[in-house]
Amino acid sequence: MSLEFHPEPLGELRRTHRCGDLRRENAGEEVVLMGWVHRRRDLGGLIFLDLRDRQGLTQCVLNQATVPQAFAKAQVLRNEFVVALRGRVAERSAETRNPNLPTGDIEVQVEELRILNTARPLPLQVAEEQNVEEGLRMQYRYLDLRRPVMAQNLALRHRLAKATRDYLDSQGFYEVETPILVASTPEGARDYLVPSRTRPGHFYALPQSPQLYKQILMVSGIDRYFQLARCFRDEDLRADRQPEFTQIDLEMSFVGREDVLALVEGLMGHVFREGLGLEIPAHFRRLSHAAALDSYGSDKPDLRIDMRLHDVSELVDGCGFGVFQSALEEGSRVKALVVPGQAGASRKEQDALKELAVAAGLPGLFFLARAADGLKSSLMKFLGPEKALEICRVLGAEVGDLVVLAAGPRATLNAALGRLRLEFARRYDLFPQDRFEFLWVLDFPLYSWNDEENRLEAEHHPFTSPLPEDAGMLESEPLKVRAAAYDLVLNGNELASGSIRIHQREMQEKVLANIGLSVEQAREKFGFLLDAFEFGAPPHGGVAVGFDRMVALCAGETSIREVIAFPKNANAVDMMSGAPVLVDPEQLDVLKLKLQPRD
């Protein structure tokens, strides 16, 4: 048969099963399968095809002696040809079964084959896992998505989305869609803007969050709202950032913090059970924001490893070591952490770690190894064996462990040791696999100080309520005010963020005034919300869960691009479609826009 072949029509054939469905109990049944040729093996009088669809693979066999016409067609098949076939399910012999494949106990003996479409030589392989340059994968995303791992990621995404909707529906939530074309926000520098044709010179913004609309829904009496919201932010991209992203957005009326936390814990339990078949704890650990920074050097600590930061200032005070003594006299602190099993770290490794510490803002690192043959450290002549052993005891360092010490101002010291803690865990492979550690971080500061602009700014967003016991300090000591805010951390990733909201106009205007918005500016930007608060706004709170990030963590992926069907690259470009693109001058004329020449 000539290798030139014209595709055939589907005709009356209709699929009876998907390629991952068939099992031993289907033996003897006549079936029709459709999909892509994953692999083809020609053994002379027999041709074996691995037929693939999104569900899986099925081995199909064509025998030249029994189906010569179908066999002749199969000789022209190449990877990614689209075919339909009719045949009979047969049980494989014991020695030919594939235990690594759900359909590995059977094969389909083909009686009829139709080639529905051909495929050009592939720019990237679907059947084999290869280290393909990401730009090529993005350019040919329709091929990349055929790879089994990507199909599995999208299937997982679907299951997690469905589990989310099912659970929130069971808890009395309404799914409500909020606008995509909205007014620009105070963070407008990061907004994507859309020009208005009907109001020249005016612009919509694409929402960074449905925040204001979901609060308005609470004022409207909806009581419990959610949506899988599409959000947009024009910012520099990282592995866990995209210009357009999805969040599980929800809001509840007549609730306090504990109600929201319990709801999210129930949601996570249901989603992980239905999506992954995993049971997670019913309640998550909790830390205050201050305690998280002090114990782990991060407001999103990865609790798969312990490795706490311990303040040993009192233990080393008076030891005579100049670096420690100078730091303590200046009001700084000395902290330590334990790296399990690394007492044998070489001088070269220790020097490399010291370089990391200096890059993180510390004057250096100091080591105390609890080796099998005794304590070893350049600090021994200052600490002495008793003090060194006491440090090991207080920190819980066992034989074989390495104690790492550093000195510096508290904030710098915490942040630097927090980064080093993660680097130690990566370098020495201390992160356990397939483990999910959730943590609530509570009591964030309501404000932080912006040194560049010399003003207060909201730590989360300006609609977060202060803790009632701190509200009296809003005017006198605003940086001491804690927020009724909470973040959910999973394996060192900020998975969700939320708060109890302000629901009274006077309080909202106070909080906005502290970040530099006058009453007039507040009314210009948020007048509709402020007005709504005067018509019976209930107490309310909510949270937004990073859905893309949650799927990536569940899939074991380090980048959310691996769980989004059509992501942008690091320059916010869609490599497949070419977006963003130049537009015709006529379109700009309609919008009353004119492009400035580049400098």
Q: Percent of the chain, pLDDT > 70?
A: 98
- Is residue 552's pLDDT more than 60? yes
Residue 15 lies in a domain: no
Closest CA to 251 of 583, 543, 457, 20: 543
Chain centroid offset of residue 524 CA = 35
- Is residue 188's pLDDT more than 70? no
Cite the beta strand spans of 396-523 per DSSP E: 402-408, 438-442, 447-450, 455-458, 485-490, 493-500
Same domain (yes/no): 261, 176: yes
Domain final residue, candidates 377, 401, 431: 431
Same domain (yes/no): 169, 251: yes
- Is residue 2's pLDDT more than 50? no
Same domain (yes/no): 37, 72: yes
Please list, in sequence order, all residues whose beta carbon lies within 8 angstroms of the beta carbon of residue 504, skipping any fewer than 6 positions away.
Answer: 533, 537
Chain centroid offset of residue 566 CA = 16
Q: Return d(Cα 587, Cα 572) in angstroms, integer.
A: 23
Which pLDDT band, with edges at 50, 70 and 90, does 433 fall under?
confident
Residue 177 lies in a domain: yes
Same domain (yes/no): 395, 364: yes
Which pLDDT band, with edges at 50, 70 and 90, does 1 fall under?
very low
CATH code assigned at 38: 2.40.50.140
Residue 264 lies in a domain: yes
Mean pLDDT, residues 94-121? 96
Compute φ and ψ for 265, nearest 5 degrees: -60, -40
pLDDT at 187: 57
pLDDT at 48: 97
- Is residue 413's pLDDT more than 50? yes
**pLDDT digits 0-9 by tens, 239-257:** 668 999 999 999 999 999 9
Mean pLDDT value across the chain: 94
Same domain (yes/no): 272, 185: yes
> What is the DSSP annotation of 185-240?
-TTGGGPPEEE-SSSTT-EEE--S--HHHHHHHHHTT--EEEEEEEEE------TT
Q: Return d(Cα 287, Cα 443) in angstroms, integer.
A: 9
> Which whole-number Å values give the CA distances from 307 to 80, 297, 419, in the listed order?
49, 11, 12
Same domain (yes/no): 313, 421: yes
**pLDDT digits 0-9 by tens, 443-490:** 999 999 988 888 998 988 999 999 999 999 999 999 999 999 999 999
Task: Pick the range with the lowest mean pLDDT from 186-195, 495-504, 542-551.
Answer: 186-195
Task: Pick the range with the lowest mean pLDDT from 186-190, 200-204, 387-391, 594-598.
Answer: 186-190
Residue 577 lies in a domain: yes
Q: How many domains does the chain have?
A: 3
- Is residue 235's pLDDT more than 90? no
Residue 521 lies in a domain: no
Residue 571 lies in a domain: yes
Please list, in sequence order, all residues whose beta carbon lies within 8 angstroms of the beta carbon of residue 8, skipping any fewer than 6 positions away.
Answer: 114, 115, 116
Residue 524 lies in a domain: no
pLDDT at 361: 83
> Model-level pTM?
0.93
Same domain (yes/no): 109, 142: no
pLDDT at 186: 62
Same domain (yes/no): 195, 224: yes
Q: Return d(Cα 105, Cα 595) in angstroms, integer.
A: 64
Same domain (yes/no): 413, 548: no
Domain final residue, candidates 398, 431, 464: 431
Same domain (yes/no): 214, 318: no
CATH code assigned at 224: 3.30.930.10
Structure tokens at 388: 């060194």
Please list, in sequence order, all residues whose beta carbon lies within 8 angstroms of the beta carbon of residue 259, skipping any fewer than 6 positions away.
Answer: 252, 541
**pLDDT digits 0-9 by tens, 340-361:** 999 998 889 889 888 988 888 8
pLDDT at 129: 79
The neighbour count for residue 271, using CB atoms within 10 Å, is 25
**pLDDT digits 0-9 by tens, 3-59:** 566 899 999 999 999 999 999 999 999 999 999 999 999 999 999 999 999 999 999
Same domain (yes/no): 143, 109: no
Query: What range does the domain containing 67 cover?
Result: 24-117
Which pLDDT band, with edges at 50, 70 and 90, does 130 fall under?
confident
Q: Return d(Cα 484, Cα 289) in angstroms, integer.
A: 12
Please list, in sequence order, all residues whose beta carbon lies within 8 angstroms of the beta carbon of residue 326, skipping any fewer than 6 positions away.
Answer: none
Please list, in sequence order, all residues whose beta carbon lies within 8 angstroms of the beta carbon of residue 69, skipping any fewer than 6 positions away.
Answer: none
Query: Using alpha carbons only, what angle is made at residue 481 by residues 475 and 482, rounded to the nearest 5 degrees?
Result: 155
Task: Pick the range with the lowest mean pLDDT from 88-97, 170-179, 286-295, 344-353.
Answer: 344-353
Residue 555 lies in a domain: yes
**pLDDT digits 0-9 by tens, 211-229:** 999 999 999 999 999 999 9
Closest CA to 572 of 137, 339, 242: 242
Dihedral (CA of 74, 77, 80, 81) sign? negative
Same domain (yes/no): 100, 153: no
Structure tokens at 437: 């550690």
Domain final residue, candidates 431, 461, 488: 431
CATH code assigned at 312: 3.30.1360.30
